[in-house]
Amino acid sequence: MAAAVVLPLAACGSDSGGGSATGGDAVAMMQSAMDGEGAVTCEITDEEQPGSMSIAGEDRYRILAQSGGETVNLLRDGSDVYVWKDGSPTGMKTTADSQTGMALPNVQEAIDQEKAAPTVDMECSTDGDVDAKLTAPDDVEFQTAP
């Protein structure tokens, strides 16, 4: 199961308060989560590429992206990487340093690009329950790729 996951990160707007943020404040929240300072979930509301991202460290994140009317999940938990579609009974498991030909999203690079030129609407909030989102589902059978 080859997967190309587009990382639609960008932000517009201003701080919306109440533990959530948009614009530069949302990007700052993402950077803090990448640095291991808490966890954040961001909802991307761009009509062309809606999705979400949960981050709890540079090697712990989950991206949900819409592709062809389906939701594709990419989960990285340390060196383990899981890819599956919502509703599918099977998925793929590999490692971050494998030679599967699957390019993992560079979350830090995407955050850095957003600091320079935001383009997509997004709202981020701190997430005390992000660990539940960063666990591979039990009801999906993952096939190990080399």
In this prediction, residue 35 has a pLDDT band, given cuts at 50, 70 and 90, of very high
In this prediction, residue 74 has a pLDDT band, given cuts at 50, 70 and 90, of very high
Q: Is the pLDDT of residue 4 over 70?
A: no
Residue 129: what pLDDT?
83
Residue 53: what pLDDT?
93
Tens digit of each residue's pLDDT (9 = 90 or more) over 113-137: 888 887 768 899 998 888 889 999 9
The CA distances from residue 56 to 42, 45, 101, 110, in Å, are: 12, 21, 25, 16
- Count of CA atoms in the C-beta half-sphere (13 A) of 83: 17
